[in-house]
Structure 1
Amino acid sequence: MPDSNHNSKFIIQKSNWLPPGQTATDRFRVTGERGPTEAGLDEANWRLVVDGLVDKPFELTLDEIYALSTYELMTDIHCVTGWSYKGIRFTGFPLAHLLNQAEPKQAAGYVWFGAYSARNHDTSLPIEIARLETWLVTHADGEPLAVEHGYPVRTLTPARYLYKSLKWVHHISLLAEDRPGFWERTSLYHHNADPWPGDQRYETGTMKPKAIARLREANSFDRYRDKVIISIDLSGWAPKCLDMHGLQFKNCNLRGARLAGVDLSGANLTNSDLRDADLSGADLREADLEGANFAGADLTNTDFRGANL
């Protein structure tokens, strides 16, 4: 473990610290996967691989990572689901140390990060952002990272939404072309992920107006169950079919929607606007509702058992 007498301290915080659309929270919340693969917790055999378009690829053991972790970073973190946490102190070191050791080739334009993850979780950043902004960290507020937060080692890029930071990092590879990460592929999260200019949470809406009209009039939602529907306007909607289980409406406008008695069990409504919606008697068991806005909604007898709020 790194010694408690760290030799350098960095502060990355804005005076106006809360980005547009974010809400302050009083804790470091857990999002995404809760734990790595078994290999990710095998400290004796744990390795970080650094390769790709570099002149000097190498691997590091966990002890070598701890030996490098002699820096402190005080920063704020921002999750795409709408929460921000102010003033958390991480222990680790800048990624630039590893990039300098690897000596990237001129063709390297992106840094890809892979995790010890059952679903092969990954993310990527332009090399200039990764070099300037990304850290590898082992501790938070003086304590080893909790497993659900990335123990033993995670990346942290405070200038971007937290989905650009990777828990249980295992592999860093330099690439000529970008390789979109897990959340960009599965949920169409915005590749830039900048919380400040333009609130870059998602790419543009995923359906054209005629397709949205067909959705509004659908008598069955079976054809939509394997789709991720992003950033469309369904305000005031009264669906004809009440079986909406498992549907994914992320960052959608459902304000004033008439959803009484609807089966939304297992659905994903993250960051959606459900203000003034009628959800009385609706089934939201096991639904992912993180970041959803229910202000003014009728939640009489709504079933939230097992939901992620």
Structure 2
Amino acid sequence: MNSTKNPRHSPGQSITDKFPTVGEKNPSPDILDWKLEVVGLVKRPLTFSWEEFSELPKREGQWDTICVTGWTRLDDKWGGVGLAEILGLAEPLAEARFVRFVAYSTRDHDTSLPLEYANEHVILATELNGEPLSQKRGGPVRSVCGGKYFYKSLKWVRRIELLAEDKLGYWEEVSSYHNNADPWKNERYSSRPMATDEFAERVGKRDFSDAFAVRDEQFKQLNGVDLSGGRFERAQIKGCPLHYVVWTGANCSGANFTLCNFAGADLRDAILVGADLEGANLQNADLRGADLRGASLTAAKFVRGEHSAKIEGARFLRSDIENEGLSSKEQAFLLAPEQGAIIE
């Protein structure tokens, strides 16, 4: 991912010409019999076959693709059918205020938007930059919403539902992603801190296994606190300040540290196998001897001149480093023989 600074992009983002695959990789099997339903608070519930959908008037939109993990693609051109076209046929009732999109997904992946905003900014896309939309990118039909983080755009759309009251989507509910998702306001997460008593107890026991916390400022208290050998397996600690934590030899296997700031952290010999480090800042962190095999590294940051991460003896899978979500600069650093990482 060749990334550069650009005053056009929203805070905390880097520009890339790559298109990393994030979220679900495959739809549910019943997508083979694709159809699109429009239900809820409408005068005319509708069902479109692929042939019927393909005959609807087309619309194009050019928007930046802004991923919450920290990368942005400028000026992607999407083609398909405007949401307004479909809703014009379905005729929303006066009490309809929100629109929910539901995917062909084994976990019923969904998201929602205010109806007024969605009507102006959403395309049911079948093309990306002049090419048919691949299944990997959400084809045959995905919603694309301009001006929001990309989790408000949904792969493999199967149903559009009009609602009087909002319903939090999958990522908004499970990962506490911000429901408004305005990238210019840096609305990535809604804060969901851990209970104060629970936090203190976990620190005392050095056990954060299976913990859940989002944008939790309590974690600043761990600055310099020795939690060597601590347990963080399967923890979901997202968007939290973890600078200068001392987690030498800690077991963080399967943990989710998306968008956490580990600057200056001591992670020597830590077990980060299968950890989610998407968008994490690991600059100036000491990762010597750590095991990062199977870790998700999309948009992670290791390089900062003389304050780059120390990775001698750290173990990585080459396939994790060479994934399309890591910038070329970061890839080159991790693979450089002089850095001393063990690449498998």
Answer whether TM exceeds 0.5 for this pair.
yes
Q: Does 1:280 align with 2:288?
A: yes
* 2:230 aligned residue: none
Q: Does 1:36 align with 2:27?
A: yes
* 1:300 aligned residue: 312
Q: Give the TM-score taking structure 1 as reference length.
A: 0.87
Change (3 A) 1:265 1:187: same
Is the partner of 2:266 in helix, strand or coil? coil
Q: Does 1:131 align with 2:131?
A: no
C-alpha separation in 1, matches of 2:199 and 2:287: 21
C-alpha separation in 2, matches of 1:272 and 1:89: 29
Letter in 2 for 1:28: F
Letter in 2 for 1:35: N
* 1:25 aligned residue: 16
C-alpha separation in 1, matches of 2:309 and 2:7: 31
- Structure 1 residue 155, shift from structure 2 partner: 0.5
- Structure 1 residue 209, shift from structure 2 partner: 6.0
Using the TM superposition, name which of 65-74 and 110-119 deviates more.
65-74
Moved over 6 A (4+): none
C-alpha separation in 1, matches of 2:197 and 2:17: 43
C-alpha separation in 2, matches of 1:212 and 1:255: 21
Change (3 A) 1:17 1:54: same
- Structure 1 residue 211, shift from structure 2 partner: 4.9
- Structure 1 residue 122, shift from structure 2 partner: 0.9
Aligned counterpart in structure 1 of residue 265 of structure 2, from 257, 272, 295: 257
* Equivalences for residues 1-309 of structure 1 within 5 A: 17-40=8-31, 42=32, 45-68=33-56, 70-197=58-185, 199-207=186-194, 211-212=198-199, 214-224=201-211, 225=233, 227-239=235-247, 242-295=250-303, 296-305=308-317, 306-307=319-320, 309=326
C-alpha separation in 2, matches of 1:250 and 1:206: 15
Is the partner of 1:131 in helix, strand or coil? helix
- Structure 1 residue 24, shift from structure 2 partner: 0.5
- Structure 1 residue 253, shift from structure 2 partner: 2.3
Equivalent residues of 1:188, 1:230 under 8 A apart: no
C-alpha separation in 1, matches of 2:196 and 2:149: 29
Is the partner of 1:222 in helix, strand or coil? coil
Letter in 2 for 1:27: K
Q: Give the TM-score taking structure 2 as reference length.
A: 0.79
Using the TM superposition, name which of 254-263 and 207-216 deviates more.
207-216
Over residues 37-85 of structure 1, what are the superposed CA-to-partner deviations in whole Å (9 max), with x where a residue is unaligned? 2221x2xx32100000111111111112222252222222111111111
Is the partner of 1:51 in helix, strand or coil? strand
Indicate the percent of aligned positions where both proteins have the same amino acid. 40
Change (3 A) 1:120 1:165: same
C-alpha separation in 1, matches of 2:208 and 2:298: 23
Letter in 1 for 2:8: W
Aligned-residue Cα RMSD (Å) equals 2.1
Using the TM superposition, name which of 245-254 and 137-146 deviates more.
245-254
Considering fraction of residues, name the structure with more helix: 2
- Structure 1 residue 227, shift from structure 2 partner: 4.5
Gaps of 5+ in 2: 1-5, 212-232, 327-344
Over residues 184-241 of structure 1, what are the superposed CA-to-partner deviations in whole Å (9 max), with x where a residue is unaligned? 12211111111112x1111125235665555555434434345522232221111266
